[in-house]
Amino acid sequence: MKTNYNELPEFSKEFKRFSKKYKSLPDDLEEFKRVVDVVPLGNSKHFNIITRNEQYAVVKARLFCRYLKGSSLRVVYAFHYQSCKVDFIELYFKGGKENEDRERIKNYLKNL
């Protein structure tokens, strides 16, 4: 079954902003999607499940950006088991921000 990808408006805005700065980002995100297609909840220490229940799991993962050469961006997404759907919730630079936006995740889950 093919995974369906969606983005929250905030994610789209962040992605657009970072794409201007880091030119390889659109390709890097495509590469990331290929990994998620195979292993939706990740397969290494670079994936961390923030919360989960029977319907979904919210995962924080490292998005490797070639342009950044190693220092990395973090992507927070929700994977819905039944519908095989991924919602991208947040994208942030590890150096600029320590942790994910818990409020945004809470609001997202509240509106499911």
What is the model's pTM?
A: 0.94
Q: For residue 48, what are the β-bridge partners?
A: 60
Q: What is the pLDDT of residue 71?
A: 61
Q: Which of 65, 59, 66 is nearest to 44 (CA)?
A: 59
Hey, how many other C-beta atoms are within 10 angstroms of the C-beta on 6?
A: 13
pLDDT tens for the chain, 112 residues long, are: 689 999 999 999 999 999 999 999 999 999 999 999 999 999 889 999 999 999 999 999 999 889 887 668 999 999 999 999 999 999 999 877 889 999 999 999 999 9
User: What fold, for 4-110?
Assistant: YaeB-like fold (3.30.2310)
